[in-house]
A and B are shown apart, each in its own frame.
Chain A
């Protein structure tokens, strides 16, 4: 794998500082420090119960941290409402599709883009009559292979297409940092390549945090990796280095998966 690193220290776009979350006596997140740099392809891995979901919920504002700070582009967002974080550019996708089932891909994206471009509370003119909004939607539909199903009801789409829409919606929010929660989970093999290809082609100036169990995807996609265990950061670094780290082998990676990683 290519290991070129930017010479100047890259700009940190999202950072967690000493982030902790306790549920009663259970420490779901313990003093997590995480820096996501501009344009990152950063994988976040860990066994079940490692606290990945809690960390995502803390970053996106669904949960309030017990202590610590979160900064987005240098701005403290620790106590900011989830929708405000999205407006500032911190956007997520969901492990289980969260779609608007009665809309179509076209109307879904028209609405999300309208909302992003500040027409969301406009009530007088119909959806989609703004030229720039429609143009952006057509781009997204094309990019995510949704053009041919753009007018079908979302609930009738195949799982793979729904998964594409799941990601297209998040990109429609013009994210600076995109948290992809297991983007290929549950996608049948026939539709997998289309999805992997789309994920690989996400704009390079969007910093991406990938939460994933699929090691093939992690090693082919990620340039940085953080391993979480029991709510704490076990180690952080470049994927191929971590793959050989005995601590990582011990707690998380099976030997066969390491063998797979060496091929990459």
Chain B
């Protein structure tokens, strides 16, 4: 009698909820619904993808990072330089960037296997600063402080050309963001994904039931780096520009804020956080260009002090 019950529970856990279909449809429709804000949509989709990549290590695996911009920045410059010097095809560029970010992530994962949260924060921050300084110094390749200019992409599949209104760009970025979301959704519901949660909850026990914790962390760190690189590549390809700020501490910190706003360790937290953060940023910065960070800060303090659960309860109360 318990068997079928648990079977039902598993089915319930794995079912795609109606609201998920709504969210995914809205995402796909957004470049058409808000065509006049295509630039904004493009930016949000890229940022959301970056946030999802961080959530894989921060929310699901419990690895804090203040330097995820290292992989984002790598993706930006690698995509820009690759299209300038080797091949301007965007899809080929994405594949090359994902592959190289994967390798970079695998190498960097060696630095986060041991140590406490604090050492991880410092090490990840350090890696992103190294990236920043390298991009600054390798002037011939990156353009240094002037930024990488003149990135011209070929049309996607040789058909869809990136236009000035950013319509194609926004569709392109949103589509890839949704694809990644579906991939990550698969991943976190699989035994592989539950292994990540097990490590986050109790790595001592995860090891004691036979999981090779280091190995699993290396794999997820590489995957996360690859997706962060992918989002960076989208930025370079859709804006045709790369500047040093893609490696900056602000970039790493902002994406962490977005996850905190949207919900850590929740598949859609990155998307929600990116949307809320970017909208607040654009609204507030048009009202008070100098002080918008003040309001973001206030919002965060209230959010964290109130507690997400209580906010959820309010919403549950309203919808009931």
A residues lining the B interface (CB < 8 Å): 60, 81-83, 86-87, 91-92, 94, 98-103, 106-107, 110-112, 114-116, 119-129, 134-135, 137-138, 141-142, 147, 150-151, 169-170, 172-173
Q: Is B139 an interface residue (CB 8 A)?
A: no
Judge whether B190 and A127 touch: CB under 8 Å: yes
Nearest CB of A to B70, in Å: 24
Q: Which residues of A contact B206 (CB under 8 A)?
A: 100
Closest to B194 in A: A111
- A-contacting residues, B205-254, CB 8 Å: 205-213, 216, 219
Q: Which residues of A contact B211 (CB under 8 A)?
A: 83, 115, 120
B189 x A126 contact (CB < 8 A): yes
Whether B2 contacts A123 by the Cβ 8 Å rule is no
Closest to A151 in B: B9
Q: Which of B6, B197, B209 contacts A137 (CB 8 A)?
A: B6
B202 and A114 contact, CB distance less than 8 A: no
Can you list, as one digit per residue, whether each of B1-36 has a CB less than 8 Å from chain A (1) or not (0)? 011011101100110000000000000000000000
Q: Within 8 Å of chain A (Cβ to Cβ): is B192?
A: yes
* Cβ contacts A to B, 17 pairs, < 8 Å: A100-B206, A103-B194, A103-B198, A103-B201, A106-B9, A115-B191, A120-B191, A123-B193, A126-B10, A126-B14, A127-B191, A127-B193, A135-B3, A138-B2, A141-B2, A141-B6, A142-B2
For B210, the chain A residues whose CB sits under 8 A away are 83, 86-87, 91, 115-116, 173
How far does the alpha carbon of A126 sit from the alpha carbon of B191 in the complex, in Å? 7
State whether the Cβ of B279 lies closer than 8 Å to any Cβ in chain A. Answer: no
> Are A121 and B205 in contact (CB-based, < 8 A)?
no
Q: Measured between alpha carbons, how far is A35 from B197 in the docked complex, in Å?
A: 37
- B201:A169 contact, CB within 8 angstroms: no
Q: A138 to B5, alpha carbons, bound, how many Å?
A: 10
Identify the interface centre among A103, A116, A123, A142: most chain B CB within 10 Å of its CB. A123
B320 to chain A, nearest CB (A): 21
B6 and A150 contact, CB distance less than 8 A: yes
> Known contacts A106-B9, A134-B7, A138-B2; is A115 also within 8 Å of B14 by CB?
no
Q: Are B201 and A101 in contact (CB under 8 A)?
A: yes
- A120, B212: Cα distance in complex, Å: 10
Interface size on B, residues (CB 8 A): 34
- When the two chains form their complex, are residues A82 and B208 in contact, meaning their CB atoms are under 8 A apart? yes
Residues of chain B lying within 8 A (CB to CB) of residue A125: 190
Are B205 and A100 in touch, CB under 8 angstroms?
yes
Considering only CB atoms, which chain B residue lies closest to A166 in the complex?
B205
Q: A81-B212, A82-B208, A98-B205 are in contact. Are A106 and B6 (CB under 8 A)?
A: yes
Contact B14 A129 (CB under 8 A): yes
Q: A98-B202, A123-B193 are in contact. Are A128 and B10 (CB under 8 A)?
A: yes
Bound Cα distance from A241 to B192, whole angstroms: 50
* Chain A min CB distance to B33 (Å): 32
Q: Which residue of A lies closest to B191 (CB)?
A: A114
Instruction: Out of A91, A103, A124, name the residue touching B186 (CB < 8 Å).
Output: A124
How many Å from the CB of A136 to the closest CB on chain B?
A: 11
B208 and A123 contacting across the interface, CB-CB below 8 Å: no
**Residue B179, interface by CB 8 Å:** no
Asked if B201 and A100 make an inter-chain contact with CB atoms under 8 angstroms apart, the answer reads: yes
User: Bound state CA distance, A126 and B9, in angstroms?
Assistant: 13
Contact of B209 among A86, A106, A147 (CB under 8 A): A86
> Beyond A83-B210, A100-B201, is A138–B6 a contact (Cβ under 8 Å)?
yes
- Which residues of the partner chain B approach A122 to less than 8 Å between Cβ atoms? 190-192
Q: Give the residue among B9, B186, B198, B209 with the most A Cβ atoms within 10 A.
A: B209
Are A102 and B195 neighbours in the complex by a CB distance under 8 Å?
no
Nearest chain A residue, comparing its CB with the CB of B199: A100
In angstroms, Cα B178 to Cα A34, docked, is: 57
- Minimum distance in angstroms from B203 CB to a CB of chain A: 10
In the complex, the chain A residue whose C-beta lies closest to that of B210 is: A86
Contacts of A110 in B (CB 8 A): 10, 191, 194
With A120-B192, A134-B7 as given contacts, are A100 and B198 in contact (CB-CB < 8 Å)? yes
Q: Which chain A residue shows the least CB distance to B205?
A: A98
Q: Is the CB of B191 within 8 A of A111?
A: yes
Q: Which of B10, B204, B212 contacts A98 (CB 8 A)?
A: B204
**B195 close to A115 (CB less than 8 A):** yes
B145 in contact (CB, < 8 A): no
Contacts A107-B194, A114-B191, A134-B7; is A86 near B2 (CB within 8 Å)? no
Nearest chain A CB to B194 CB, angstrom units: 4
A122 to B188 Cα, complex, angstroms: 11
Report yes or no: B208 in contact with A112, Cβ–Cβ below 8 A: no
* Nearest 10 Cβ contacts at the A-B interface: A86-B210, A123-B192, A98-B205, A128-B10, A100-B201, A114-B191, A111-B194, A147-B2, A123-B190, A126-B14
| Residue ID in chain B nearest A128 by CB atoms | B10
Task: Tell me if A115 and B209 are in contact (CB < 8 A).
Answer: yes
Instruction: Indicate if B301 sits at the interface (CB-CB under 8 A).
Output: no
Does B187 have its Cβ within 8 Å of any Cβ on chain A? Answer: yes
Smallest CB gap from B265: residue in A? A102
- What separation, in Å, do the CA atoms of A110 and B5 have in the docked complex? 14
Residues B205 and A94 in contact, CB atoms below 8 Å apart: yes
Q: Which residues of B sit under 8 angstroms from A100, Cβ to Cβ?
A: 197-198, 201-202, 205-206
Docked pose: A126 CA to B198 CA in angstroms:
16
The residue of chain B having its C-beta at the shortest distance from the C-beta of A81 within the complex is: B212
